[in-house]
Structure 1
Amino acid sequence: MPDFLLYEQDGPVVTLTMNQPEQRNPLTGNTAIPEFLAAIDRIHDDRSVRCVILAANGPSFCAGGNIHEMKRQASPEVSEMDIRQDYRRGIQRLALSLFNLEVPVVAAINGHAIGAGLDLACMCDIRIASEKAKFAESFIKLGIIPGDGGAWLLPRIVGMSRAAEMALTGDTIGARQALDWNLVSRVVPHEELLPAARAMANRIAVNAAHGIRLTKRLLREAIHSRLSEVLELSAVYQAVCHKTPDHSEAVNAFLEKRAPAFS
């Protein structure tokens, strides 16, 4: 079986492409999780990377869980503790790792983002949708709950009332409604999806690497911190940034009325 995740780098931008289109790019019952974790570790260690695009081959973005894996978990041979460990060692590790990746992630959502596939998109920083995209927090339709962090992620993006509506009905919404609900930041024609994601990634990647990573870290910490804590952390991060060569280059470039050349 070919790799689930394709890793391509163009300068400071890495594109991760989910590549099991026949199965609609599921996150379970395959090697998706270890491949994601390995790619995230690789990005963390490569200081030349300034932005990541998460894309998918085929008509769907991500179908979430593999239904055959769910049937296996429901069998008498698999205990509740086994299932708990499957989640803790599997998709929950992906949620923590991708959400906490220092580099910004732009999700290019080409089609259905269903269940864990929607939550995967919510782990990213920016979501751009094709006009063909569909979204559903559909766990309830299978008699289960969002086991991958969706109950924490989704309300912080669309608000509690809309998150509750999506999670408790399991209904599917289209790209335009997702835009109205702030689930995505923009909707583009289908053929323009990857160019739009690359343009966004390049707009981010032209900036200083330290600033990008520390700004992302600060935004993540601010989600669950008091203002006083964020201000203290901001002071520390700012002190680091002020002493970087990129900051000096940016100041000099501004004074000299030229574009900065970041290291």
Structure 2
Amino acid sequence: MTLSAAALGGLLAWRAGAFALTPWLLATLGLLFAHATNNLLNDYTDSRRGIDRNNYYRNQYGVHVLEDGLVSQRQFWGYLGFTGGVAIALGLWLVWLRSGLTLDLMLAGAFFVLFYTWPLKYYGLGEPAVLLVWGPLMVGGTYYVTAGHWSWDVCWLSVVFALGPTTVLFGKHTDKAPADLAKGVHTLPVLLGDKLSRQATRLMLAAQYLLCVLLVATGSFGWPLLLVLLALPKLRHLWAVFGRPKPAERPEGYPEAIWPLWFSAHAFRHTRPFSGLFLLGLVLDTLLR
């Protein structure tokens, strides 16, 4: 999803006739290493605070480098130092190349890398942070350093893309809300409760399509953007999934390797084709113009 966000920012710069390869490559690699750094910090923070211990929800669906003993503490810090160091070096290179808002964008990104897991995620601010990061910060920021100027049209379009990762995260936090509540992690789904969280996800899903229609209706983008409507069959299924609470036990036929992920897995099955159609529509619209 991070690579797609950077690709989207680069595509929009190309569309504007202002694509510069070197800044785009630096931004793309910087974002990937920053995301890797955030993932490592996420595991470290929750492990150190005792959240990811024993059979916590997080350990049931994925590998945890510390809790599973895959690296030593020394190796972990070396790994973190490498990914973080590369991200900072690439960011400073971009600041030197572009100046302007680049330093502000870099500092904003560093803030979310360092503080997403704690305290933002713990106090219901993690989900809004993801919407902001995968939208205006990643897509808008990549566009800025690539094209050399800011664009509010790009920011609005980036929200369509960012809603995809946000629905996946919202689904995951709804899946594990009981476990988070027991651990004192107050994500937004924990604060809203199960029913409101599922309704909020439905609202975000609908907003993706409505924003695309609005961007075409206002003339900001052409009809190819409406290719996202081909994902409506996936949306219909997902709409029904979010209309009911999560099953207490794994349903028959549901992949054992995916369980206990439920809402997040279904949301990802929608986000993947929607994002692909969205990017394809933008490419076609750019070529036609």
Query: Fold conserved (TM > 0.5)?
Result: no
TM-score by length of 1: 0.28
TM-score by length of 2: 0.27
Indicate the structure with greater strand content: 1
Larger RCO: Structure 1 or Structure 2 (Cα < 8 Å, ≥ 6 residues apart)? Answer: 2
